[in-house]
Amino acid sequence: MTNGFTAADVPDQSGRTILVTGANTGLGFEASKVLAERGARVLLGCRSEEKAQLAIASIKTEVPDADLEFVALDQADLASVRRAVDQVQGESRLDVLVNNAGVMMPPREMTADGFESQFGVNHLGTFALTALLLPKLARQDGARVVVTSSIAHRGAKIFFDDISAERSYRAQDRYGQSKLANLLFMYELDRRLRGTESSTIAVGCHPGIADTELARHLPSVVRFAVPLFRPFFNTAAAGAWPTLMASAGPDVDGGDYLGPTKRNETAGPAGAARATSVARDEALAARLWDLSVEMTGIDPEL
C-alpha cells in the first residue's frame, strides 16, 4: 500500500454509484464532492432533506454536472434504514457503501428502537444498512464497504453487560465503544466475505482529528480551546482523504485500515493506520456480530 494519498489521487469514478451516509456536512460532504467531481453518481444519505439539498447545491457550485441524489436516512431508526435501502435498490448499481454517519458524545439518548444512541447510530445503524445492501453490492465486481472508525477506539471496550447504558453512561466511553465496534465489524465482515469468496471487500478508515461539526457535544471547556489547536487539526477536506482512499484507492485490499500518516495518525495524507489488538480480536468480533443480529433482527446474507 502506498502512503501519502490525497484527493488528488482519486482516480476516475465514471460509471460508479456510491452511497455516502452523513453526506451533508464534514467528512461525508467533502468525500461526496470529490467523488462527484471524479464522475461518480453519489447518493447522499442524510436525515434532513433540507440540509441534503443545501449540500447538493453547494457541490454543484463547484461541480456543475455532478450526479447527486438525496436518500432519506436516519440511522437512529431501523425503519428509516429499511426505507433507504428500498430506495437504493431502485438504483441500477451500487459500487461502494461509505458508512460515514455518526454521532459523538451526546447526552444519553435512545434511538427509535431503544438502543443507546452512539452504539445504535454508529454501529447498529451501520451494521443494519450494510447487511441489507450486501446483496446489491455483490452484483458489482470489486464492490466496497467502507466503515469509519476513530482513534477513539484505542483503549475502548464493549459493554456487553450494559449495552444500553442503563446502569451507567459516560459519553466518551460509549463513543469509544461505538468506534471499536465499527472496527470489529469491519474485520469480521471482511473475514466472512472472504469465506464466501465474494469479490466485495470491507475497508476501515479514520479521519484523525478533523475540524467538523461532529464535536458539537464536546464539553464547553474543550470547545473553547478548539480555536487554539485548529492549526494542528486536519481540515474536513483533509480528514476525508482516508475515506476517499478506502472508497476509491487503487491498491486497497479487504481488511485494510487507513488513516492520516502524520503526528500519530492525527493529520496528513492517508495511508496505513494501526488498529489495536482488541479491534482485531476474532472471538470478540464474532460475539459482537451475534449481538448485532439479535438487536437489529437483521442477519447479513453471508
Would you tell me the crossing angle of helices 126-138 and 171-195 to the nearest 10 degrees? 20
Q: Which three cell numbers stand for residue 103?
A: 454521532
Residue 149 corresponds to which amino acid? S
Question: Residue 176: exposed, middle, or buried by beta-carbon count in 10 A (0-12, 13-18, 19+)?
Answer: buried
Q: Which three cell numbers stand for residue 121?
A: 447510530
Q: What is the mean pLDDT of residues 14-33?
A: 97
Angstrom distance (rounded) from CA 175 to CA 187 = 19
Angstrom distance (rounded) from CA 289 to CA 184 = 9
pLDDT of residue 223 exceeding 60: no
Residue pLDDT, tens place only, 102-118: 999 999 999 999 999 99
Residue 292 corresponds to which amino acid? S
pLDDT band with cut points at 50, 70 and 90 for residue 15: very high
pLDDT of residue 262 exceeding 80: yes
Domain map (residue ranges) of the chain: 14-294
**Nearest to residue 21, comparing CAs of 109, 132, 156?**
132
Beta strands in 81-158 (DSSP E): 96-99, 144-148
Residue 211's pLDDT is 58
Residues 6+ apart with CB under 8 A from 175: 104, 105, 118, 122, 150, 152
Residue 255 corresponds to which amino acid? G
Q: What is the mean pLDDT of residues 253-261?
A: 97
Residue 232's pLDDT is 55
Among 169, 175, 187, 257, the one annotated catalytic:
175
Overall size of the chain counted in residues: 302
Domain 14-294 class in CATH: alpha beta
Backbone φ and ψ of 72, nearest 5°: -70, 120
CB 298 within 8 A of CB 131: yes
Is 175 catalytic? The answer is yes
Beta bridge partners of 67: 41
Reduced to 3 states (helix: H, G, I; strand: E, B; else coil), residue 283 is: helix
Angstrom distance (rounded) from CA 149 to CA 208 = 10
Residue pLDDT, tens place only, 149-191: 999 999 999 999 999 999 999 999 999 999 999 999 999 999 9
**Nearest to residue 206, comparing CAs of 279, 276, 152, 277?**
152
Residue with cell 464474532: 286
Residue pLDDT, tens place only, 32-72: 999 999 999 999 999 999 999 999 999 999 999 999 999 99
pTM of the model: 0.93
Residue 302's pLDDT is 82
Q: What is the mean pLDDT of residues 65-82?
A: 98
Q: What angle do CA 40, 272, 266 make, to 5 degrees?
A: 90
